[in-house]
Amino acid sequence: MAFKPKSAAETKARDLGLALARIAEGEGTPASIGIDRLRQASPRLTPLAIGQMVRKERETVEATLAERGLSLIDYADQGPGRGMEFTIDTAS
């Protein structure tokens, strides 16, 4: 099977998944992770990019978390300027 390079969106979605996993592993699960905490962990991820990654590349984010034994339980987006929150827990 031929190598298929990852798109920029897939790479950013993986970065998002890894940042969520690092925070959840550090804080313990279940973890509620807000946008401010996520931006501290990975400043490259802007709120706009985070929202797009969850909407368009959610499978990649969830697969990245699953590799670490975690799962995305909930994602809430209150809209621009109101915040986002992820709930991460151990995979069942």
User: Is 42 domain-assigned?
Assistant: yes
User: Is 4 domain-assigned?
Assistant: no
Question: CA–CA separation, 19 vs 22, rounded Å?
Answer: 5
What are 45-55's pLDDT values in tens digits? 888 888 888 88
- pTM for this prediction: 0.83
Give which of 73, 79, 77 is closest to 91, Cα–Cα: 73
Total domains, the chain:
1
What mean pLDDT, rounded, does the chain reach? 84
Look up the domain containing 63 and give its range.
Answer: 9-90
Give which of 12, 9, 34 is closest to 23, Cα–Cα: 34
- Return the CATH number at 81: 1.10.10
User: Is 1 domain-assigned?
Assistant: no
User: Is 45 domain-assigned?
Assistant: yes
User: Is 2 domain-assigned?
Assistant: no
User: Is 20 domain-assigned?
Assistant: yes
Please check the confidence at residue 3 and state whether its pLDDT lies above 70: no
Beta bridge partners of 34: 85
